[in-house]
Amino acid sequence: MIIVFLEHKAGQIKKLSLEALEMAHQLASTEGISYKAMVIGNEVLSPNPGNYGAKELIRIATNEKLSSDQIASVCFNVVQSLQPKYFIAGLSTLMKGIGGQIAIKTQSSLISGVSAFRRDSGKSIFKKSVFSGKAFAELSPISDKTVLTVMANCFNSTIKSEELATENTMTFGIPSAKIQSIETRLIQGKTPLTEAAVVVSAGRGLKDPSNWGMIEELADLLGATTACSRPVADVGWRPHHEHVGQTGIAIRPNVYIAIGISGAIQHLAGVNNSRKILVINKDPEAPFFKAADYGVCGDLFEVVPKLNQAIKKLKN
Amino acid sequence: MKILVCISKTPDTTSKISFDSSGKKFIEEGIQYILNPYDEWYALVRAIELKEQLGGEVHAIHVGSGSSDMVIRKALAIGADIAFRIDAEPIDSQFTSTQIAAFAKDKSYDLILLGKETIDYNGSEVGSMLAAMLDMTYLSYANKLELDGQKATAHLEVEGGVEVVETNLPCVISAAKGMAEQRIPNMKGIMDAKKKPLEVLSPVPYTPTVEYIQFILPPSKTQVEMIAADDIDRLVSILKDDLKLF
């Protein structure tokens, strides 16, 4: 049996959790086993996990917002009492923190950041990105239980049924929190970079921070989140939380549009898992063209405004 | 304040990655190894800053063979007081965590710091496993860390922003960009590092829980499709019809 851990925000299930549910669905049908979802909290979930294939939802009822150490304890208890073959969750910030803890405390194997799996000689083999996107590793668990965390944008969740999941409540004594949350400062309005399906990113080629309007406009037109290269964040043209690359945030959108970024290897390390890459750069020798699917060699100050105009015209 | 910093060595970012024909073994020939940047720039430097501020000791621990001594000396040159090397090539992240946990369990460290990930395996697994093995609290992806008595306050990178949290020492914390500024070792540091102790210890027994089947290189990108700079129609059609962005 598989347990899928669902993360939600005020009842809204995170996209990454639905992708984890999709992976569980595929793995369950490949191995001929069943899967159930679990959630912490009392909120009514949207969408209903039943629509995405989970016939049963285990609810750990609580009105409190739990800290990561408390969530780890709940997951530990669920795994200990139900003994699932796989415990699957999205590779979120939360899971980066507690995935290893759950694995160690439940004597499970851990494979984190799974992007695909295959079956070979009666074994499930899981694939993940290593060497900052320059290679993949295939791993197989040895323990009888395994914690799997799923990389974003790798499994397409689809609606499978109109049925709602049957809910069953489980109760555990939750230990008092060891970590106190003081405040959370969120950047308003945009999909976080790690979850964004489309990212429009710009670099030094923009020449001045006042030129970012056209980048933001393109991002708005495409429903994308904006990002930037390291030099631009370092000089303060753009906020640090927008920096993608080796030392910044590693992303994996469906489409990455890089404008005025040369494509230094440190930048590529954070973005080369993007499914499709479009590069706009005036330097024909820019290394980014070698990593791109589509390239425009031209002056961004001409190409981008014209592109924005054309998209606007079509959308109207 | 007694701080342990876990340091790893990784191929330099610019390294060309390749594997032998079985796909099981990483080819080390021609690879330049460096101290993992997250361990060095952020975890180690912040540990040294905290020692400068509060007094105490900074210990560095590494799991690896004798070929790692160069990167360990660098950690000493930057300012760690003493280094320990568990003499074994890491097999997987749980191996590394097991070795460090066995070393640290009776040493009463106030704080264990490590980078948020290594730039080779990118697993972000060791800190989380280590904390569980030592039964310590774990804060991951901290880009700011302050200590006040027995209390640690950290800014953690979360989806779409930052969460400020507090916890009591001892704890394990993984460091992200911003926690400290990179320090370049000076000549005195490099000379001193030669005299600082580097103790070599034997590994504890370990049974693997995952099997590496093989490594695969990504398929090389098919030729990039170049679009003329004045062919906005084609560009729009790519965004609209091929990539379905609107």
The answer to whether the Cα torsion of B55, B84, A130, A263 is positive or negative is positive
Q: Of the candidates B162, B166, B218, which has its C-beta nearest A180's C-beta?
A: B166
A141–B165 C-beta distance less than 8 A: no
Q: Mutate which of B41, B171, B243, B244 to test chain A, going by most A C-beta atoms within 10 A?
A: B243
Q: Of the candidates B124, B129, B161, which has its C-beta nearest A103's C-beta?
A: B129
- Distance (Å) from the C-alpha of residue B195 to the closest C-alpha of chain A? 32
Nearest CA in chain A to B10: A131
A315–B123 C-beta distance less than 8 A: no
Nearest to B218 by CA among A187, A237, A266, A135: A135
Q: Of the candidates B38, B123, B132, which has its C-beta nearest A104's C-beta?
A: B132
Please tell me if residue A223 touches chain B, with a CB cutoff of 8 Å. Answer: yes
pLDDT of residue A190: 76
Chain-centroid distance of CA B100 in Å reads 14
What are the helix (H) ranges across B124-219? 126-134, 187-195
Q: Which burial class, exposed, middle or buried, applies to A306 when counting CB atoms under 10 A from its CB (0-12, 13-18, 19+)?
A: middle
Residue A194: DSSP 8-state: G
pLDDT of residue A179: 98
How far is residue B163 from each of residues A95, A182, A294, measured CA to CA in Å?
15, 8, 37
Nearest to A262 by CA among A201, A308, A215, A303: A201
Check if the beta carbon of residue A86 is closer than 8 Å to that of residue A148: yes
Please tell me if residue B157 touches chain A, with a CB cutoff of 8 Å. Answer: yes
A181–B165 C-beta distance less than 8 A: yes
B120–A131 C-beta distance less than 8 A: yes
Assembly ipTM: 0.94
Q: What is the DSSP string of B54-87?
A: H--EEEEEEES-GGGHHHHHHHHHHT-SEEEEE-
pLDDT of residue A249: 87
B151-158 and B137-148 beta bridge pairing: antiparallel
pLDDT of residue A243: 93
Question: How many other CB atoms are there within 10 angstroms of residue B82's CB atom?
Answer: 14
Q: Whole-angstrom Cα distance, residue A90 to residue A115?
A: 11
Q: Whole-angstrom Cα distance, residue A106 to residue A85?
A: 11
Please tell me if residue B187 touches chain A, with a CB cutoff of 8 Å. Answer: no
Q: Whole-angstrom Cα distance, residue A100 to residue B135?
A: 12
A251-266 tens-digit pLDDT: 999 999 999 999 999 8
The segments of chain A whose pLDDT lies below 70 read none
Nearest CA in chain B to A291: B221
Please tell me if residue A301 touches chain B, with a CB cutoff of 8 Å. Answer: no
pLDDT of residue A197: 92
Q: Of the candidates B120, B129, B232, which has its C-beta nearest A306's C-beta?
A: B232
The segments of chain B whose pLDDT lies below 50 read none
Nearest CA in chain B to A298: B229
Q: Of the candidates B141, B218, B225, which has its C-beta nearest A135's C-beta?
A: B218
Residue B149 contacts by C-beta under 8 Å, 6 or more apart in sequence? none
pLDDT of residue A188: 72
Please give the structure tokens belonging to residue A219.
Answer: 């991002």
The one-letter code for the residue type at A63 is N
Q: Mutate which of B125, B143, B151 to test chain A, going by most A C-beta atoms within 10 A?
A: B125
How far is residue B190 from each of residues B11, B42, B200, measured CA to CA in Å?
22, 19, 20
